[in-house]
Amino acid sequence: MSLPKTMRATVLYGEGDMRLVDDYPVPEPCSEEVIIKVEACAICGTDPKILAHGWPNHPPYGEFVFGHEYAGTIAALGEGVTKFKIGDRVTVEPHKGCGTCDNCRDGLYTTCLNYGIHEKGHRHYGFTENGGYADYACIHINCVSKIPDSMSIDEATLMTTAGTSLYGIRRIGGIKTGETIVVSGPGPVGLLTVVLARLLGADTIVLIGTRAERLELGLQLGADIAINVREENVIERILELTDGFGADAVLECAGNIQAAVDTVEYTKKSGRIALVGNYKEPAPMNIGKIMLSNLTVVGSRGEGERSVARSLALLGRKTIDISPLITHTFPLDEIHRAFEIAEKRLEGAIKVVVKP
Amino acid sequence: MSLPKTMRATVLYGEGDMRLVDDYPVPEPCSEEVIIKVEACAICGTDPKILAHGWPNHPPYGEFVFGHEYAGTIAALGEGVTKFKIGDRVTVEPHKGCGTCDNCRDGLYTTCLNYGIHEKGHRHYGFTENGGYADYACIHINCVSKIPDSMSIDEATLMTTAGTSLYGIRRIGGIKTGETIVVSGPGPVGLLTVVLARLLGADTIVLIGTRAERLELGLQLGADIAINVREENVIERILELTDGFGADAVLECAGNIQAAVDTVEYTKKSGRIALVGNYKEPAPMNIGKIMLSNLTVVGSRGEGERSVARSLALLGRKTIDISPLITHTFPLDEIHRAFEIAEKRLEGAIKVVVKP
Amino acid sequence: MSLPKTMRATVLYGEGDMRLVDDYPVPEPCSEEVIIKVEACAICGTDPKILAHGWPNHPPYGEFVFGHEYAGTIAALGEGVTKFKIGDRVTVEPHKGCGTCDNCRDGLYTTCLNYGIHEKGHRHYGFTENGGYADYACIHINCVSKIPDSMSIDEATLMTTAGTSLYGIRRIGGIKTGETIVVSGPGPVGLLTVVLARLLGADTIVLIGTRAERLELGLQLGADIAINVREENVIERILELTDGFGADAVLECAGNIQAAVDTVEYTKKSGRIALVGNYKEPAPMNIGKIMLSNLTVVGSRGEGERSVARSLALLGRKTIDISPLITHTFPLDEIHRAFEIAEKRLEGAIKVVVKP
Amino acid sequence: MSLPKTMRATVLYGEGDMRLVDDYPVPEPCSEEVIIKVEACAICGTDPKILAHGWPNHPPYGEFVFGHEYAGTIAALGEGVTKFKIGDRVTVEPHKGCGTCDNCRDGLYTTCLNYGIHEKGHRHYGFTENGGYADYACIHINCVSKIPDSMSIDEATLMTTAGTSLYGIRRIGGIKTGETIVVSGPGPVGLLTVVLARLLGADTIVLIGTRAERLELGLQLGADIAINVREENVIERILELTDGFGADAVLECAGNIQAAVDTVEYTKKSGRIALVGNYKEPAPMNIGKIMLSNLTVVGSRGEGERSVARSLALLGRKTIDISPLITHTFPLDEIHRAFEIAEKRLEGAIKVVVKP
């Protein structure tokens, strides 16, 4: 199959300056890379920040194509690729480690010590390398997974998000059957955490948030109890639900400082807390209680431990329908409008997908 | 062997009111308990706080004998005790779980969910039960370990502290051979953490503190590098020592807020931080970095996972001489003076031992 | 509620000599114990062996009431019991550790080092202590769990079996989402392993066995593929299903020597194998391959890590209907007939339940 | 620095046919590779087997240079290498994973699923790629570690062996302080396991073997007790030493079938057994006891988890002198004699080193 020489691509030209061009060179795959014909790319919460401020070590303005939650079909194979064939339906994850640093050798590729150093083999697609708001995208096979037939291309764009949720779950040592799990923040990561916690054997799942519709959706997706922090005292309520002992584990996905601080107060002695959100300021954590209660607090970066591929298998079974998370789709031509909807969360937007 | 009916004991009569009495009833052992003839009891950093403010669920004032870092010889055996015999040289640890709650059944007895509830079988000797500033003390066999011949009774009083250090090390998943370990705070827990990290295969051990003599002692006990935070920028120095990547793991034993906050800045991506100190206020933790760096931050409560017994075996080999940690000994009669020395850290005091 | 003085009980009088008596003294609960009015007790595969040969440290013949998979309602409370109240619907697990040995303190109560020593506090109900083929049974609260309303008393008798399955899963480090899991042996433990693996996020579940109906039931309960070892070459088939790499993990529940030996040949490099069955002879294991493939082979004893309580929560959700596992129920009077059906697997028997 | 065009190399020409040639082309480094001027290469127990029978996927006879336990100095740098500079003293480990298979992404590079497939990036130097019995050797930087100044080049050739020992220790979950550890087989791997177990905090170390001098050396290197299986009943002796409970963990390094079988009989309930040796036949393992005792039996393949680099740091401290393990050194010209000494264990040979 021969690819065109040029394509449409959403290129960043500077802070806040995103332009859709139609003469961007179609990339060529190196060894162990593939070219994907992008069919859908979801807008991540980080994308508007990249648009506004760039990202450390990003490709030069004028060349930088971003977008990292995309899916499509294999359009070309680099040298040595045997795992895929032309036409395979696939989705991607953004992180590829350098393969030689201590963390990569330990399997911790989302915390590669050569982050952003292209020459060392590190790739963070859509951040420090080109990504998927374009007709075609080039990516290393470590970041590519086949989609089961049961899953649509649009749903497949949710898999990096699901991988982030799953890695959060794995960072707390997995969910042990029978545990009471709190998920804080009903955004895409939080809602998919609810879905996965349910599919992985949690007992009671408590979802915390501020918006009624989101909490309602969370109940539909598998949560047992929803707590609106504007209406109830979260700490009291969770202690009450757990005979005063607190939750076994908490996944904080809101990126909210107070939400993070609160977790310590309603987690059981020897319980676990994952910080999965983005936090912009220091949080006044009650570390005295972290010590006295023997708590484990983990940051969870990216979608490590092959969590995207793992999520695909599980969500491909369709036990829970995740399609309601995709509230909007736009053609690539309307990417500016798509960003506005996504960033301002207009019209009840959760996940907004752009389709080249 | 028949025990006397009464004994000397240091009894708390109220906040700040500690009295040495000589007619306290000698305790009688229940099933699975022993009576220890106390020969030495070290003053823990928590003891002056108990003296000043009591402790949740402490025995009634007028009856409460505190002190929990003691050693001596077995003087009487309760029903069913076969593990010890009269005359055995032993030391103790303070926590015994209820044995029936979820945490105890999981082996997490220092975070027993029935803390302070005597009827449920929980014991925290010297806190919620009587302890060792007395001629005799009664204690459950789970809290008692034999001392190797190579170890003196005075050194044996350090074993609860060593167990706290060791549990901190276990809470961060152990020290992996070849790692750079930072120990923050050269108090008794921190210094014993240095000793244990050395004996457990750490590569570079960096000790952080404020007092020159303590840092000096740390170097003698096994640290490779000492950083005086009053003289150097700790974060810069550690990053410099580690090619900019940060330490593999940190054990914060100072109980200092700024020290805890700093750890996040000099720990390697995917590294581990143990909070082993007592922290009185919230700490403004950089949780954004905890997330982005995929850090694991654990509180470490007490001397779990049989860490006192484990420490005894290792320190009994005498590869490193820990006796310099004991700077003062006093007869029980001078316990008030001993407390003054310990609390105000007079005369270079590190560990002060009281000898009934 | 006052209990009668005597009751019906199935007493072992010698090897092969089981008698239903109607004047057995109703037990009285000690501290932290309860009396359960037994409403159903399932026959475990071990029970006919106990009947035939006794068990190390069993209660004296003439007094020994066996049966350990029972459920019923709380009929009396020993001193200090606050977790239950009269009338609670409950089920049980057989192992209670001594609480003082090293393994118990580590949370490993199914491998208590004081096994069978009553004076040390160890209990193995139905084996070294009296059990549940009787109107009433006395048991320690550590071994008792409430049944969710959604679960019938008969289904609740399956929970010790489910706990055994779950502990096997936990012994292999849990099921990681997306893994291919092989379950060998479609007996009660194997079939419940299928159910739990499905509910815990396994990807492909392969069930191996010899009997068509059992394999069929396994497919109904959640297996994706059934292999009849009499018709197919198991090793070839599993390698074929896994691109030649082998399964991620295997749970051998058949107790069959050849089945155990085969596992090594179809498990992926760095994969895990749990031996959950009872094996009567040495197995010629290919340990050269265990080494070269870096395999982990674990024995799995009993229902550790609170797996019965954990299973209850998960199976109480009724996502998969486990009632087909109970093929027969008999009144207590017909216990001899029940044993015959169970032992000889007559009439397609899987689980046979006796109802006092 | 310019390298010569040709060099001396030990080339395999067929089964049993090893020839020292002096016109072998000096290799050129690719990206992320270095050329090492080999100064010493130890003979591994596997080398005589490779000589006799080849190895799956080995380089063609007539080109195949073997040897994988070598050390020397960096002589040339491939593109992109910044971690080393010319003249650095280094040692090597043989396994480099492909970096793209599931196991490699999980950090399990010694069980790469693309073993022996050069095109996929897998390397097993000295086995499926050229190695170190030559003046120069080419190797990927993942397999290279700097030697501390304190360590001689000859000692550095022991580091792959030490890495194998260390990985065995890590495969059993590390040594927990205070544990009784049995090491079976006082060959190089076993003796270095004794050294590392001592340096990592084991309590009692028991060494089992058949040859008195080796056992004697083991005691010198850190073992507490040596058992000669020709003179004592190993099972009885270890049970006696452990109050009848058995050892906490065992590392079987002898590659002996009976030794492997015996481990199950003297390991504590819930204990761990590592199979580190090479086993040529099936072993009649008592899997019934593995199940009942909840044992964990792990194969340990190679020197995973960066164990060579980790060992270097620890052994570089010289707390225990490992030089007695090197009993013979020969110039490269005498490699045939060196192999004879090593293979037949003449003159008390333990490790035999060849020096180009």
Closest approach of C108 to chain A, Cα-based (Å): 17
Backbone angles phi, psi at C100, to 5 degrees: -120, -15
How much is the average pLDDT of A302-308?
A: 97
Please choose, from the candidates A278, A249, A225, A206, the residue with its C-alpha nearest in 3D space to the C-alpha of residue A49: A278
Q: Chains with 3 or more CB pairs closer than 8 angstroms to A?
A: B, C, D
Percent of chain B with pLDDT over 90: 99
From D174, D177, D199, residue closest to B311, measured CB to CB? D177
pLDDT at A162: 98
Please write the tens of the pLDDT for every residue from C62-77.
Answer: 999 999 999 999 999 9
Neighbouring C-alpha atoms within 13 Å toward the C-beta of B208 = 27
Q: What average pLDDT is seen over chain D? A: 97
Q: How far is D280 from chain C (nearest CA, A)?
A: 6
Instruction: Answer whether C181's CB lies under 8 Å from C241's CB.
Output: no
Of C156, C174, C155, the C-alpha closest to C165 is C174
β-pairing verdict for D64-65 and B69-77: unpaired
D chain contacts of residue C291, beta-carbon cutoff 8 Å: 275-279, 299-301
Mind telling me how many Å the CA of C243 is from chain D's nearest CA?
A: 11
Indicate the pLDDT class of residue A336, thresholds 50, 70 and 90. very high
Q: What is the pLDDT confidence band of residue D2, given thresholds at 50, 70 and 90?
A: confident
pLDDT digits (tens, 9 = 90+) for A99-108: 999 999 999 9
Four-CA torsion C70, C71, C73, C77, nearest 10 degrees: 50
Angle at which helix A159-171 crosses helix A188-199, to 10 degrees, equals: 60
For residues B299 and A293, the answer to whether their CB atoms sit within 8 Å is yes
User: What are the C-alpha distances in Å from A236 to residues A207, A214, D76, D183, D330?
Assistant: 15, 22, 65, 54, 75
Q: Which residue of C has its CA nearest to B102?
A: C306
Check pLDDT > 70 for residue A226: yes
Residue of B nearest to D180 (CA): B313
Tell me which residue has tokens 């993070």: A260
Q: How far is the C-alpha of D35 from the C-alpha of B347, rounded, in Å?
A: 59
Q: Which amino acid is at C289?
A: K
| A30 contact D CB<8A | no
> Which residues of chain B are within 8 Å of residue D170 when distances are taken between CB atoms?
176
The pLDDT mean for chain A works out to 97
pLDDT for residue B293: 98
Which pLDDT value is given to residue D280? 95
pLDDT in tens, B189-226: 999 999 999 999 999 999 999 999 999 999 999 999 99
Asked if the model's pLDDT at residue A285 lies above 60, the reply is yes
| A residues 151-190 lying closer than 8 A (beta carbon) to C | 166, 170, 174, 176-178
- Tell me the C-alpha distance between A331 and C211, whole Å: 55
On the question of pLDDT at A301 being above 60, the answer is yes
Q: Do C39 and C138 touch, CB atoms closer than 8 A?
A: no
How many whole angstroms separate alpha carbon C213 and alpha carbon C215? 5
Whole-angstrom distance, CA of residue D242 vs CA of residue D206: 11
Residue with tokens 């100044």: D149
**Mean pLDDT for chain C overall:** 97
The reply to whether ipTM tops 0.95 is: yes
Q: Compute the distance between CA of residue B108 and CA of residue A294 in angstroms, rounded to an integer.
A: 10
User: In this structure, what token pair is assigned to residue C223?
Assistant: 């297996």
Question: What is the C-alpha separation between D289 and B353, in angstroms, rounded?
Answer: 48
pLDDT value at A68 more than 80 = yes
Q: Which alpha helices (DSSP H) does D106-211 contain, by range?
A: 153-156, 159-171, 188-199
| Cα B24 from Cα C183, distance rounded (Å) | 64
In Å, how far are A26, C80, D168, D184, D262 from D269, measured between CA atoms?
62, 32, 20, 19, 15
**D289 contacts: CB under 8 Å, gap ≥ 6:** C299, D264, D265, D295
Provide, rounded to the nearest whole percent, the portion of chain A with pLDDT above 90.
Answer: 99
Instruction: Give the number of other CB atoms < 10 A from CB of residue D134.
Output: 27
- In this prediction, residue D94 has a pLDDT band, given cuts at 50, 70 and 90, of very high
C182/C206 Cα distance (integer angstroms): 5
What is the enclosing helix (H) or strand (E) of C260?
Answer: helix C257-263
DSSP assignment string, D95-114: EE--SSSHHHHTT-GGG-TT
Q: Which of residues 129-148 of D touch A (CB under 8 A)?
A: 141-142
Q: Give residue C28's pLDDT band: very low, low, confident or very high (50, 70, 90).
A: very high
Tell me the pTM: 0.97
Residue C307 has pLDDT above 80, yes or no: yes
Q: Which residues pair with A218 in a beta bridge?
A: none
- List the end-to-end C-alpha distance of chain D, in Å, as a whole number: 19
Residues of A whose CB is below 8 A from C310: 176-178
Residues of chain C in contact with residue D111, where contact means CB-CB under 8 angstroms, are 269-270, 293-294
Closest by CA to D108, choosing from D328, D304, D262, is: D304
Summarised one tens digit per residue, pLDDT across range B280-316 is 999 999 999 999 999 999 999 999 999 999 999 999 9
Burial readout A308-343 (b: 16 or more C-beta within 10 A, e: otherwise): bbbbbbbbbeeebebeebbbbbbebeebeebbebbb
Residue type, B29: P
Q: Does B1 score more than 90 pLDDT?
A: no
Question: What DSSP element (H or E) covers A144?
Answer: strand A144-146
Of A102, A109, A305, the CB nearest to D306: A102
Cβ-defined contact of C142 to B100 (cutoff 8 Å): yes
Share of chain D above pLDDT 70, in %: 100
Mutate to test the interface with A, among B180, B269, B295 (most CBs of A within 10 A): B269
Average pLDDT, chain B: 97
Q: How far is D24 from chain C (nearest CA, A)?
A: 32
Does the structure show a pLDDT above 60 at D44? yes
- The answer to whether A158 and A351 are in contact (CB under 8 A) is yes
Mean pLDDT, residues B102-107 = 98
- Residue C275, beta-bridge partner list: C252, C299
Residues in chain B: 356
Name the residue with tokens 């053609």. A331
pLDDT > 80? residue C1: no
pLDDT range class, residue D114, cuts 50, 70, 90: very high
- For the cut 60, the answer to whether the pLDDT of residue D1 exceeds it is no
pLDDT in tens, A164-220: 999 999 999 999 999 999 999 999 999 999 999 999 999 999 999 999 999 999 999
Alpha-carbon torsion angle C142, C144, C150, C156, nearest 10: 120
Alpha-carbon gap: A177 to the closest alpha carbon of chain C (Å): 5
Question: Quick check: D8 and D20 in contact, CB under 8 A?
Answer: yes
* Token representation of residue C249: 């993990």
C contact chains, 3+ CB pairs < 8 A: A, B, D
Chain C residue with Cα closest to A309: C178
For residue C305, the distance in angstroms to the closest alpha carbon of chain D comes to 13
pLDDT tens, A73-82?
A: 999 999 999 9
